[in-house]
Structure 1
Amino acid sequence: MSIQNQKVAVITGASQGIGAGLVTAYRKLGYGVVATSRTIAPADDTGIVTVQGDIADPATAERVIAAGAERFGRIDTLVNNAGIFIAKPFTEYSQEDYDAVTAVNLTGFLRITQLAVEGMLAQGGGHIVQITTSLVDHANSGVPSVLASLTKGGLQSATKSLAIEYAARGIRSNAVALGIINTPMHPEKHHESLAALHPVGRIGEVSDVTEAVLYLENAPFVTGEILHVDGGQSAGH
């Protein structure tokens, strides 16, 4: 595939866990990838551009999209994967907690998505995916998470709003709402208790997430969808 017609994906929160898995998955599809996080190391793959920066800073979004335009000339997909999750009883959230979670989960979504959409409109289409949590739809008394629901719930609503605003102009918008996924965020000693939260009796793997995102990538008739990849949690217990 020549660079002129190579598709390009931007992945935020790309240095480890789900983000790193998405970088690998899109490269296997033949996409060029722009990968960003605060700590991401340079890649030895010429098909990957890495950009270090805090996605909560709009200047990072500008640098990420500019790097993609400079290397590849286009952006076809944006996966808003970067996120902060702080589980605390509601009255124990501090102003610092609120500022940190809203900065990454909401502010970090806004500017990079605006810039990506501008480029997608110019080239005639594209795809935006938000990574959210099934706690938005299925609250759990054992996992108090109002800030996650406030911010990721906002992203799920924005996902549908974007889908409808741009449906006639070739841009699709979807979300993947996750259960607990086996990433470095969750030490192995907690896996058994975390597995019990899921009706299927296990936590998810990064591959469960990447396969869901790639399904949406290759589903041109699907937009405005909140795809639950949560071991059945959102359906009930």
Structure 2
Amino acid sequence: MKNRTIIITGASTGIGKETAKYFLDKGYNLVMNSSNEENLKDTYKAFGSPSNAICFAGDVSKPETGKQLAALALEKFGRIDVLINNAGVFSPKPFLEVTKSDLECFWKINLLGTYFTSQAVIPQMVKQQGGSVINIGTVLVDHAIGGFPATAPLTSKGAIHALTRQLAAEFGKDNIKVNTIAPGIIRSPLQGKMGIEDVDSLSGLHLLNRIGEAQEVAEAAHYLATSDFVTGETINVAGGHTIGHSI
């Protein structure tokens, strides 16, 4: 895999950070993105400042960020094999309290970020006649929870699920695979940002009676990145969250 190149957005913390480390360990060339430049530099240093990784801080909701990520990948490594659209925001808020600015925030970062970065990268994959785009959604698109009101972020994530299927249809002829990973509750800084002090207390939402680890999402991403006959799919990494619950 030493000649394969991956771009990961939102790579400075949580699932993105763990996934970046996982692919580095597999020998991939890596282009890391985050909107937080300080966190991104800290993560790069924590990885040992590898020569086969480069960083670019930027807001993925702006089309120029995706273009710069693609340009950097080609300048440094000569190709783009995998894109993981991981950058995103998520927080609950009752439907009747959601404002226009709330919706715009989630749609800009989650949907527009995924849309524009894919738009910047796919032309090179078409040229190469192959590639893999992996989007990050959520199991809550298919399994809503009444006690966890999240219509604002879920509308943006649901749009990502739909975008995945359409892109898979449009670019299948070019041997470009497009899939979604829908995580359940994964141990990451996100829970703390949402005010969840004991994330393990939510284990019962999963049939396996535990929450997921970021590496398990990274493993699923690696499977999709290397699979030649899976496209247009949503892979739930959720311990049975969408299937049922233990009582």
- Which residue, 162, 166, 176 being the options, matches 1:157? 162
The one-letter amino acid paired with 2:150 is S
Distance 2:81 2:106 in 1: 27
CA contact (8 A) 2:11 2:17 kept: yes
Number of positions where the alignment pairs a residue of Structure 1 with one of Structure 2: 234
The one-letter amino acid paired with 1:233 is H
Q: What is the Cα deviation at residue 223 of structure 1?
A: 0.7
Tell me whether 1:128 sits opposite 2:133 in the alignment: yes
The one-letter amino acid paired with 2:33 is T
Partner of 2:122: 117
Which whole-Å deviations, capped at 9, do the CAs of 1:87-108 have from their partners, x for residues lacking one?
1111111222111101101111
CA contact (8 A) 1:86 1:97 kept: no
Secondary structure, counterpart of 1:104 in structure 2:
helix
Single out whichever of 99-108 and 196-205 deviates more from structure 2: 196-205
The one-letter amino acid paired with 1:96 is S
Distance 1:138 1:198 in 2: 12
Partner of 1:209: 217
For residues 1-237 of structure 1, what are the structure 2 equivalents within 5 Å? 6-39=3-36, 40-41=40-41, 43=44, 44-187=49-192, 189-237=197-245
CA contact (8 A) 1:9 1:31 kept: yes
The one-letter amino acid paired with 2:208 is V
Secondary structure, counterpart of 2:198 in structure 1:
helix
Which whole-Å deviations, capped at 9, do the CAs of 1:150-206 have from their partners, x for residues lacking one?
111111111111111111211000111011110112247322332222222111101
The one-letter amino acid paired with 1:26 is F
TM-align CA RMSD: 1.4
TM score, norm. by length of structure 1: 0.94
Secondary structure, counterpart of 2:31 in structure 1:
strand
Distance 2:94 2:239 in 1: 24
Single out whichever of 150-159 and 53-62 deviates more from structure 2: 53-62
The percentage of aligned residue pairs carrying the same residue is: 38
Distance 2:197 2:117 in 1: 36
TM score, norm. by length of structure 2: 0.91
Secondary structure, counterpart of 1:185 in structure 2:
helix
Secondary structure, counterpart of 1:176 in structure 2:
strand
Secondary structure, counterpart of 1:194 in structure 2:
helix
Distance 1:186 1:16 in 2: 12
